[in-house]
Amino acid sequence: MNDMPAYTPPKVWTWDKPSGGTFAAINKPVSGATHQKELPVGKHPLQLYSLGTPNGQKVTILLEELLAAGHRGAEYDAWPIKLDGEQFGSGFVAVNPNSKIPALLDRSGPTPIRIFESGAILVHLAEKFGAFLPTETAARAETLSWLFWQMGSAPFVGGGFGHFYAYAPEKIEYAINRYAMETKRQMDVLDKRLADNEFVAGSEYTIADMAIWPWYGGMVKGWNYEAGEFLAVHEYKNLLRWADQLYARPPVKRGRIVNRMSGNPAQQLHERHDASDFDTKTQDKILAAKG
């Protein structure tokens, strides 16, 4: 399939050298803090430490949806955590010992509560504000099933397909084919589901949609890994309909750009501390003010 020499795994794997690729300088087989760095704390009860990746977008979309629905207690400060080593600072590791974004510190009660893993954050916020997570037993089970489907499936898309297609130091045909096949299978699962349902969990817009959209909506919109043509995303008509329907929602558009650090400057809001920041502090406006 390729001209690479056959690899025979040793009896005991050792980390002799970085594996190469985009994140080689920070990927290591150990956990924990590498340096002391406290996290900033803003004025709102909810402190989000994140980045505008698909996993980060899930939480900011929910927060913007909660605010749009009138839940004023959902005001939040969003601080960027750059994946250049900031995720190994002592303050961030204290909130998320796994050193992955996003992580949330809920300071609304007498004792701050840390929540890590994007799915856990979505459930925490949905239950806290009584929104976007049905209380009826069957509808709740359907919503949580699709939420956890996304949590279990996305590593194949991001860590698998995305890594080997976009970030690996060399193109490996077997790996790309393996993960492209699984990515397309997952999109087909969603496409069939959305053929008979307006939203992923049924007739109601829920945290399941907010979790799935940044990954699979972004894929069919051509944003994730710029792989739309390669994956023939035009084949998934129902998934495209749903992706466009959600992107038409102003809270989704706002949530997508929070903590975003690359791409179109008009679509980057590095930090979010107030609703007015979307009008005054996107990166294009900051650059224009600097002359």
CATH number, domain containing residue 136: 3.40.30.10
- For the chain, the domain total comes to 1
Helix (H) or strand (E) holding 77, with range, is strand 76-80
Alpha-carbon span 51 to 160, nearest angstrom: 20
Burial 94-121 (b: 16+ CB within 10 A, else e): ebbeebbbbbbbbeeeeeeeebbbbbeb
Model confidence at 103, pLDDT cuts 50, 70, 90, reads: very high
Greater confidence, 102 or 26? 102
Q: Domain limits at 188?
A: 1-291
Residue 23 has pLDDT above 80, yes or no: no
Which of 208, 218, 148, 210 minimizes the C-alpha distance to 183?
Answer: 218
Q: What's the pTM value of the predicted model, to 2 decimals?
A: 0.95
Mean pLDDT for the stretch of residues 30-36: 94
Model confidence at 27, pLDDT cuts 50, 70, 90, reads: confident
Mean pLDDT for the stretch of residues 259-275: 97
Alpha-carbon span 90 to 94, nearest angstrom: 6
pLDDT of residue 2: 56
Q: Which residues does 143 contact at the CB level (< 8 Å), separation at least 6?
A: 133, 134, 201, 204, 206, 207, 208
Residue 274 has pLDDT above 90, yes or no: yes
pLDDT of residue 6: 82
pLDDT of residue 1: 46
Radius of gyration of the chain (CA): 20
Q: List, for residues 113-170, the tens digit of each pLDDT value.
A: 999 999 999 999 999 999 999 999 999 999 999 999 999 999 999 999 999 999 999 9
Residue 78 has pLDDT above 90, yes or no: yes
Average pLDDT, the chain: 95
